[in-house]
């Protein structure tokens, strides 16, 4: 026998633990210390039978409430609230063990888990939620028993049956939860996500390209977006996000493209990407170069095919991009050349001289581009992210002295040289490459893949993508190293869970619900009846009905071993096998005038008429007696 | 909430109830009543059942699927006669005590409450001796009427020797007496018609039990043409008490 109140105590402690684990990393030191201390103290006090006065716990709770209440502010709501919840939970763990206290502990554990989602909403939350729901359901059931009789104890088989009932109920609750998750109305802006983007690093992509601002760059491995799509050749993985079209004060910035500029969107965009960006600070929607269109989110596309949406800065969302991988962006009409040739007066002197030379030497823009490429190659530049040149003259230093830099140096230098040579150019910001997750079928784009390249305008062609970083030594190796790293590949595989979490939970909003409904409606419309469906369907229905009837009859006819033996015995005397009314088995056996029949009747009635099932040995003996009786009957 | 609602609903469904009363129970005296609850669900147990019946309540923690559990309570019937068990109200807070669901189930079982026995300070009935030939008594005793004279065998008590007769004969003669204890009696309900009916019945019940304890055969005259012959034994006593429990003075004699 097991006492239910003991079981309940263990269960509630487990619930508190699971509720608080996801919140624990986000707590301040004080609740972090108080929580385990209070739990241990509660256990010791309980074991020793000491009951501290309830007023003591009330006073402590009040004091700590005041302490955190004073820290509440318009911009500081979540942290004090989460800490306060953890403190209350600690007080409950240390305090009395009553049904009311157990119920409060369960509620506080659930609130703590909910509070953890204000900091991060990871798949761990789902695991904890499922565990907590099952355990809380179990605790509530045990509380009901405890309320009825605090000294109640159940045997192990009874407890096992109760466990099965609770497990079934928990399973049904989870299925219902899943169902309601899909159908309950949702808001466009999640109410819970009060701090979008908090705790996430800013993307490696920025709203300006300013080489020379730092001696080293450290791009994190934080995920910027995931793109579900078929794998592409690595040379095609240019995720175009933003165009910087003006160079000013040592930095490339974006201005609205000149009015009238209109790019020709590629016809037929075979590469479809479903993109799941993390909420970031920049409103640009990247897509494989050249992106024909973007759908699924309210967005604006400028003449230079830069698509922006304020939605991505506010919440996690998803959109679809359709691209035709290539390196040329055709235009409907000639560009505003002066706009794309505009240069500041204070260009680095050696860079300006090299640009002027190329401008003079090259006869066409194509030739000038070739000359620039030759210049870059002849300079023997190296791709590096450390020991970078800095200052206002950093580009000169990069090209002619240090000869090493990262993508922004290469792209800025080439764009400036081309503009200096009279060829319209601009710098493009985006991402290059991606780690393909074979399990999930998507690319993971991290901060460190942020990249800058250039677009050069060539008459008759349009804007041609030129990535001067590829002319450097060390660039190709960098990409290979990234892809080959075992830890990276493992991290990419492990990211699958996060991807499906994002796909199924985080980005599941009103739009997705409507899509689901529309898709279901379309499927219903498309549903056509095959010609022979009616006949086959009828056969199938009849077969199912026949099987059901057979199963039902078999169930009805299913007899216990005792009943079966009795029927066989009766059949020896009575042709129908039915026991005559008002007749007992002993009387029937006497009629047979056979000591074996009497033995059968005695053995049978000694068990069955004393509400005891027949044992294995008894059944065996009864069967052998029956067999012998039947043999005699046949002989006679 | 939905699953707990469904579980709570199932918990108190498909239950069957029967009540067992003792075969001897008296009006106004506490009696143990046994409720047998059968869970007709093949697998799902029913938990935390509180059963209210006849104004009393009792509980069962678990009734496994397909099993029967019994529980009992004390109940005092007010008034003689037949008492049907009626409907039992079965309530349960299972599974999570948010709501207590109840259901009413008709319970099989009927009790016959005998009149509360009451000792009379006087003899209210004409208790008729049955020695006038209705019953042939063969029992011998030392305190009854003289039945016959027999030879002294040496085992009879000396006080039984009939000295006067012995003097006239060669051997000793002894008196053989009947026993006064075993003398059959018939309680005549019609005799004390002035008393209120319920009082008469209570006195009669007491006397039936009293004579039965003395191992005397008891009979009962219910009406002018209806007499139950004197006999002894528990089943006979219960028969007489049942007649008293169901006695209706307005009914014509059978």
Q: Are residues A315 and A382 both part of a single domain?
A: yes
Cβ of B118 under 8 Å from any chain A Cβ? no
Query: Taking 90 as the threshold, does the pLDDT of residue B248 lie above it?
Result: no
Within a domain: residue A201?
no
Q: Are residues A606 and A472 both part of a single domain?
A: no
Of A183, A200, A229, which marks where a domain is finished? A183
Q: Dump pLDDT digits (tens) for A444-458.
A: 888 888 899 999 999
* Helix/strand/coil for A287: strand
Cβ of B5 under 8 Å from any chain A Cβ? no
The whole-number pLDDT of residue A535 equals: 75
The whole-number pLDDT of residue A512 equals: 72
B125 vs A524 pLDDT, higher one: A524
Segments forming the whole domain that contains residue A603: 561-635
Cβ of B63 under 8 Å from any chain A Cβ? no
Q: Are B109 and B85 in contact, with CB atoms under 8 Å apart?
A: yes
Contact B96 A172 (CB under 8 A): no
Cβ of B1 under 8 Å from any chain A Cβ? no
Q: Which residues, in sequence order, are CB contacts of A389 under 8 Å at separation 6+? A: A212, A395, A397, A398, A401, A402, A405, A409
Q: Quick one: angle between helices A365-378 and A407-420, nearest 10?
A: 140
Question: What is the CATH T-level fold of the domain B2-114, as seen in this structure?
Answer: Immunoglobulin-like (2.60.40)
Query: Taking 60 as the threshold, does the pLDDT of residue A190 lie above it?
Result: no
Of A467, A486, A503, which marks where a domain is finished? A503
Within a domain: residue A546?
no
Chain A closest CA to B69's CA: distance in Å? 14
Q: Are A167 and A130 in contact, with CB atoms under 8 Å apart?
A: no
Q: Are residues A318 and A258 both part of a single domain?
A: yes
Q: Are A100 and A136 in contact, with CB atoms under 8 Å apart?
A: no
Chain B closest CA to A144's CA: distance in Å? 5
Q: Which of B47, B48, B95 sits opposite A169 (nearest CB)?
A: B95
What is the Cα B144 distance to its own chain's centre? 30
Within a domain: residue A40?
yes
The token pair that represents A627 in the structure block: 């067999």
Residue-averaged pLDDT of chain B = 84
Radius of gyration of chain A (CA): 39
* Confidence band, pLDDT 50/70/90 cuts, at residue A510: confident
A511 vs B187 pLDDT, higher one: B187
Among A residues 115-154, those touching chain B with beta carbons less than 8 Å apart: 137, 140-141, 143-145, 147-149, 152, 154
CB-CB neighbors (< 8 A) of B95 in chain A: 137, 140-141, 144, 165-166, 169
Q: Which long-range contacts (CB under 8 A, 24 or more apart) does B195-201 make?
A: B195/B124, B197/B247, B197/B249, B198/B80, B198/B115, B199/B118, B200/B124, B200/B125, B201/B80, B201/B115, B201/B244, B201/B247
Q: Which residues, in sequence order, are CB contacts of A14 under 8 Å at separation 6+? A: A135
Mean pLDDT of A370-390: 88
Contact A169 B45 (CB under 8 A): no
Contact B96 A148 (CB under 8 A): no
Q: Which of A158, A169, A176 sits opposite B7 (nearest CB)?
A: A169
The whole-number pLDDT of residue A516 equals: 77
Contact B3 A144 (CB under 8 A): no
Mean pLDDT of B83-109: 90
Q: Are residues A156 and A80 both part of a single domain?
A: yes
CB-CB neighbors (< 8 A) of A145 in chain B: 47-48, 61
Q: Are A297 and A319 in contact, with CB atoms under 8 Å apart?
A: yes
The whole-number pLDDT of residue A538 equals: 83
The whole-number pLDDT of residue B139 equals: 59
Cβ of B251 under 8 Å from any chain A Cβ? no
Round to whole Å and give the CA distance between B159 and A530: 116
The token pair that represents A130 in the structure block: 């499922």
Mean pLDDT of A63-77: 83
Residues β-bridged to residue A457: A463
Nearest chain A residue to B60 by CA distance is A148
The token pair that represents A296 in the structure block: 């699924």
Q: Are residues A16 and A68 both part of a single domain?
A: yes
Q: Are residues A213 and A306 both part of a single domain?
A: yes
Within a domain: residue A198?
no
Chain A closest CA to B103's CA: distance in Å? 19
Round to whole Å and give the CA distance between A364 and A457: 12
Q: Are residues A331 and A399 both part of a single domain?
A: yes
Q: Which residues, in sequence order, are CB contacts of B198 under 8 Å at separation 6+? A: B80, B115
Radius of gyration of chain B (CA): 28
Within a domain: residue A540?
no
Q: Which residues, in sequence order, are CB contacts of B168 under 8 Å at separation 6+? A: none
The whole-number pLDDT of residue A479 equals: 63
Residue A362: other Cβ atoms inside 10 A: 18
Backbone region of residue B61 per phi and psi (left: phi > 0; alpha: psi in -120 to 50; beta: other values): alpha
Q: Dump pLDDT digits (tens) for B149-174.
A: 888 887 788 888 888 888 888 888 88
Q: Are residues A175 and A29 both part of a single domain?
A: yes
Model pTM above 0.80: no
Q: Where are any strands of DSSP class E within A159-262?
A: 208-209, 223-228, 238-244, 246-248, 251-253
- The number of folded domains in chain A is 3
Q: Are residues A467 and A600 both part of a single domain?
A: no
Q: Are residues A219 and A166 both part of a single domain?
A: no
The token pair that represents B210 in the structure block: 């009293």
Chain B closest CA to A97's CA: distance in Å? 18
Q: Are A154 and B47 in contact, with CB atoms under 8 Å apart?
A: no
CB-CB neighbors (< 8 A) of A143 in chain B: 96-97
Highest-confidence segment of A361-375, A429-443, A567-581, A593-607: A361-375
């Amino acid at each position: 026998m097991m006492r239910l109140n003991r079981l309940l105590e263990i269960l509630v402690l487990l619930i508190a633990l699971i509720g608080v684990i996801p919140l624990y990393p986000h707590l301040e030191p004080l609740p972090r210390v108080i929580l385990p201390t209070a739990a241990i103290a509660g256990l010791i006090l309980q074991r020793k039978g000491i009951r501290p006065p309830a007023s003591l716990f009330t006073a402590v709770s009040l004091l700590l409430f005041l302490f955190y209440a004073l820290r509440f502010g318009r911009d500081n709501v979540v942290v004090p609230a989460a800490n306060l919840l953890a403190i209350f939970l600690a007080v409950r763990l240390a305090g009395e063990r009553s049904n009311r206290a157990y119920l409060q502990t369960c509620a506080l554990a659930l609130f703590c888990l909910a509070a953890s989602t204000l900091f991060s909403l990871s798949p761990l939350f789902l695991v904890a939620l499922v565990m907590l729901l099952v355990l809380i359901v179990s605790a509530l059931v045990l509380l009901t028993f405890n309320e009825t009789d605090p000294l109640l104890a159940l045997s192990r088989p009874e407890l096992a049956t109760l466990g099965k009932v609770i497990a079934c109920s928990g399973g049904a609750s989870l299925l219902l939860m899943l169902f309601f998750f899909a159908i309950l109305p949702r808001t466009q802006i999640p109410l819970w996500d009060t701090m979008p983007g908090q705790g996430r690093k800013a993307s490696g992509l920025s709203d300006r390209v300013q080489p020379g601002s730092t001696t080293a760059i450290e791009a994190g491995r934080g995920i910027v977006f995931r793109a579900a799509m078929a794998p592409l050749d690595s040379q095609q993985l240019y995720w175009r996000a933003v165009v910087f079209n003006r160079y000013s004060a040592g930095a490339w910035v974006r201005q609205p493209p000149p009015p009238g500029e209109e790019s020709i969107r590629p016809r037929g965009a075979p590469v479809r990407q479903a993109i799941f960006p993390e909420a970031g600070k920049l409103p640009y929607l990247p897509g494989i170069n050249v992106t024909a269109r973007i759908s699924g989110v309210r967005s604006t596309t400028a003449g230079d095919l830069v698509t922006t949406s304020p939605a991505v800065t506010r919440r996690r969302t998803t959109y679809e991009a359709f691209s035709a991988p290539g390196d040329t962006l055709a235009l409907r009409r000639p560009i505003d050349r002066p706009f794309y040739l505009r240069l500041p007066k204070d260009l680095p002197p050696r860079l300006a001289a090299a640009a002027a030379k190329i401008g003079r030497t090259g006869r066409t823009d194509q030739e000038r581009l070739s000359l620039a490429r030759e210049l870059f190659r002849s300079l023997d530049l190296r791709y590096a992210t450390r020991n970078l040149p800095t200052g206002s003259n950093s580009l000169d230093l990069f090209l002619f002295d240090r000869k090493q830099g990262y993508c922004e140096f290469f792209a800025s230098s080439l764009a400036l040289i081309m503009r200096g040579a009279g060829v319209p150019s601009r710098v493009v910001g985006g991402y290059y490459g991606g780690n393909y997750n074979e399990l999930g079928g998507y690319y993971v784009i991290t901060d460190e893949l942020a990249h800058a390249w250039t677009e050069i305008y060539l008459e008759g062609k349009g804007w041609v993508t030129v990535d001067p970083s590829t002319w450097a030594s060390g660039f190709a190796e960098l990409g290979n190293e990234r892809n080959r790293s075992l830890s990276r590949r493992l991290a990419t595989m492990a990211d699958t869970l996060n991807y499906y979490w994002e796909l199924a939970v985080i980005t599941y909003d009103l739009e997705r619900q409507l899509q689901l409904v529309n898709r279901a409606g379309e499927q219903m419309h498309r549903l056509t009846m095959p010609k022979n469906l009616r006949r086959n369907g009828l056969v199938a229905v009849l077969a199912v009905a026949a099987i059901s009837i057979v199963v039902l009859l078999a169930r009805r006819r299913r007899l216990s071993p005792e009943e079966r033996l009795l029927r066989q015995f009766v059949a020896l005397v009575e042709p129908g096998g039915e026991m005559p009314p008002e007749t007992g088995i002993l009387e029937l056996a006497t009629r047979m005038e056979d000591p074996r029949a009497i033995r059968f009747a005695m053995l049978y009635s000694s068990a069955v008429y004393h509400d005891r099932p027949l044992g294995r040995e008894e059944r065996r003996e009864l069967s052998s007696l029956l067999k012998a009786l039947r043999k005699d009957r046949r002989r006679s | 909430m939905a699953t707990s609602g469904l579980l709570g609903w199932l918990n108190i469904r498909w239950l069957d109830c029967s009540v067992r009363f003792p075969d001897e129970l008296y009006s106004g005296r506490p009696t143990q009543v046994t409720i047998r609850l059968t869970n007709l669900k093949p697998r799902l147990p029913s938990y935390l059942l509180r059963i209210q019946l006849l104004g009393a309540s009792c509980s069962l923690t678990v009734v496994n699927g397909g099993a029967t559990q019994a529980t009992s309570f004390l109940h005092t019937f007010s008034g003689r006669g037949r008492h049907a068990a009626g409907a039992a109200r079965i309530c349960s807070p299972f599974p999570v005590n948010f709501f207590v669901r109840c259901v009413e189930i008709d319970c099989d079982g009927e009790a016959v409450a005998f009149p509360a026995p009451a000792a009379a300070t006087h003899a209210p009935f004409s208790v008729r001796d049955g020695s006038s030939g209705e019953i042939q008594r063969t029992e011998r005793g030392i305190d009854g009427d003289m039945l016959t004279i027999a030879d002294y065998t040496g085992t009879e008590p000396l006080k039984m020797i009939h000295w006067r007769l012995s003097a006239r004969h060669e051997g000793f003669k002894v008196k053989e007496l009947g026993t006064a204890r075993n003398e059959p009696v018939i309680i005549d309900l019609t005799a004390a018609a002035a008393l209120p009916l319920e009082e008469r019945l209570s006195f009669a019940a007491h006397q039936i039990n009293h004579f039965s304890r003395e191992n005397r055969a008891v009979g009962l005259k219910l009406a002018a043409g209806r007499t139950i012959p004197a006999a002894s034994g528990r089943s006979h006593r219960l028969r007489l008490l049942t007649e008293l429990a169901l006695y209706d003075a307005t009914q014509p004699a059978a």
